[in-house]
Amino acid sequence: MTVSRIIRGRTLAFRDDPFRVSPDESVDQCDDGAVVVAEGRIVEVGPAQEVLPRHPGAAVDAYADALVMAGFVDTHAHYPQMELMGAYGAQLLEWLVKYTFPAETKYSDLQYARAGADAYLDACLANGTTTASVFCATYPASVDALFDAALGRNMRIAAGKVMMDRNAPAPLCDTAETGYRDSKALIEKWHGRGRLTYAVTPRFSPTSTPEQLDASGALWREHPTTLMQTHLSENLAEIEWVRGLYPQAPDYLGTYEAAGLLGEGANFGHAIHLTEREIALLRESGSAVSHCPTSNAFIGSGLFDMKGLRDCADAIRVGIATDIGGGSSMSMFDTMKAAYEIAQLRGYSLHPARAFWLATVGGAEVLRMGDRVGNLVAGYDADVMVIDLKSTPVIERRMRRADDIWDALFTQMILADDRAIRAVYVAGEKLHDRDEARADA
Ligand code: GUN
Ligand code: ZN
């Protein structure tokens, strides 16, 4: 095995869940650490003084004043919506009709979708996000474009074709039958190729008939290594609508339950306004939720209950997510900051150890990739980011007062943006270098 490179800096890895143990017990950190990479994988993580002599002649990328950690994992985003981020003045149901559906219609065109997919994945990398679970549009071409672009970058990306067969413009609708058939063909074409994972993607109960949800459940059962992603209880008017559309269902989650869409690998976006029954059902079924804090604030949806769902006995698996383009930022720093602020509004303070854990290890676990990505561990894929801890004059001044790792990390999650992402490695290859990108501009 030939070592392809060593990444040197202040390394941070998680050894336990900071919702269960204290922040200090949850991490392994080294002020002068080294991550050894070979054949796309992490071979070794340890103090540079011990590690470097074992690999004489290996190329070393050394970063001063920088934190080396696993790339971010964004557990819920819609790539065709990047072009409508920051759309003014609407809440969920109006926002979908006014902005979202028209934008997604354009993704029937493969060339258009390719350009959108490249722009999206490049923006992910520039923000340190190396893995995401992505909604495409209804059109298979929109999935081909994203997976092709992810394969070209060798990124670990989950994605799926949105299925919807009612309550959306005709050009965006499939049927229970074509949604199933086209998704199945996409699974056969893409799932497990390179580092790609297919996610069965019924958009949400209001835009699917019960027949389509049933077909989605059947498809997921036939392909149990795929993921399942959808939306749940984001907005109060949406919940009322579901009540009217599914009079037999006990609650919103019950519409998915009836179709066999719960279980490990199921990932429900938003999950804000939940009943006790729904919370118990999510927990018992091993389903996960994606907290989308910038989106929930921006579209005015509500305040996610981090304490009640995650910082408690019998916690539910939670990831944090940008929810582009309902979300207002591509940055997981902004996303952690919004998660902190929303928790504060509910009287709960989200510790930076927990925020960074959710944005890496926690997200990977939501996507059943917790043994591959989201952490700096020997044997894991070398998806690594380098965070410049003094990326702006304001942060530089603030960091003079940061006397421990937690204050340094908290400063980053509140003040940093893509300027802090110094470098990003995907399967060991450097795909983003901030300073080279600047020099090119
Ligand atoms: N619910 C159904 N579709 C969507 C979407 O595209 N974005 C958000 N935020 N919520 C949804
Ligand atoms: Zn969404």
CA of 424 to the centre of ligand 1 (A): 29
- Cα-based distances in Å from 328 to 94, 103, 162, 322: 17, 16, 21, 8
Structure tokens at 80: 């065709």
Are 261 and 204 members of one domain?
yes
Judge whether 380 and 41 are in contact, CB under 8 Å: yes
Are 428 and 357 members of one domain?
no
Domain boundary among 342, 366, 390: 366
| Ligand 1 binding pocket, CB closer than 6 Å | 78, 92, 96, 100, 203-204, 231, 234, 295, 323, 326
Are 413 and 277 members of one domain?
no
Neighbour tally for 249: CB within 10 Å: 17
| Among protein residues, the one whose CA lies closest to atom 8 of ligand 1 | 326
CA of residue 39 relative to chain centroid, distance: 25
Mutation test residue for ligand 1: of 163, 205, 234, 324, the one with most atoms within 8 Å of CB: 234
Domain boundary among 327, 346, 366: 366
| Complete DSSP assignment for 76-123 | EEEGGGGGGTT--S--HHHHIIIIIHHHHHGGGSHHHHHHHHHHHHHH
- Look at the pTM and tell me if it is higher than 0.90: yes
Judge whether 329 and 295 are in contact, CB under 8 Å: no
H helix and E strand count, the chain? 19, 16
Q: What is the DSSP letter of 362?
A: I
The domain tally of the chain equals 2
Residues of the domain holding 387:
5-71+375-440
CA of 435 to the centre of ligand 2 (A): 32
Are 362 and 221 members of one domain?
yes
Find the CATH number of the domain harbouring 206.
Answer: 3.20.20.140
Are 411 and 271 members of one domain?
no
Are 40 and 177 members of one domain?
no
Are 337 and 384 members of one domain?
no
Find the CATH number of the domain harbouring 33.
Answer: 2.30.40.10
Q: Per residue of the chain (441 residues), what is the pLDDT tens digit?
A: 788 899 999 999 999 999 999 999 999 999 999 999 999 999 999 999 999 999 999 999 999 889 999 999 999 999 999 999 999 999 999 999 999 999 999 999 999 999 999 999 999 999 999 999 999 999 999 999 999 999 999 999 999 999 999 999 999 999 999 999 999 999 999 999 999 999 999 999 999 999 999 999 999 999 999 999 999 999 999 999 999 999 999 999 999 999 999 999 999 999 999 999 999 999 999 999 999 999 999 999 999 999 999 999 999 999 999 999 999 999 999 999 999 999 999 999 999 999 999 999 999 999 999 999 999 999 999 999 999 999 999 999 999 999 899 999 999 999 999 999 999 999 999 999 999 988 887
Are 410 and 394 members of one domain?
yes
Quickly list H helices, 22-97.
23-26, 48-51, 92-95
Are 186 and 248 members of one domain?
yes
- For residue 231, the ligand 1 atom closest to its alpha carbon is 1
| Among protein residues, the one whose CA lies closest to atom 3 of ligand 1 | 203
| Among protein residues, the one whose CA lies closest to atom 7 of ligand 1 | 326
**Strands laid side by side in the 41-47 sheet:** 41-47, 27-38, 5-14, 60-70, 384-388, 421-426, 429-433
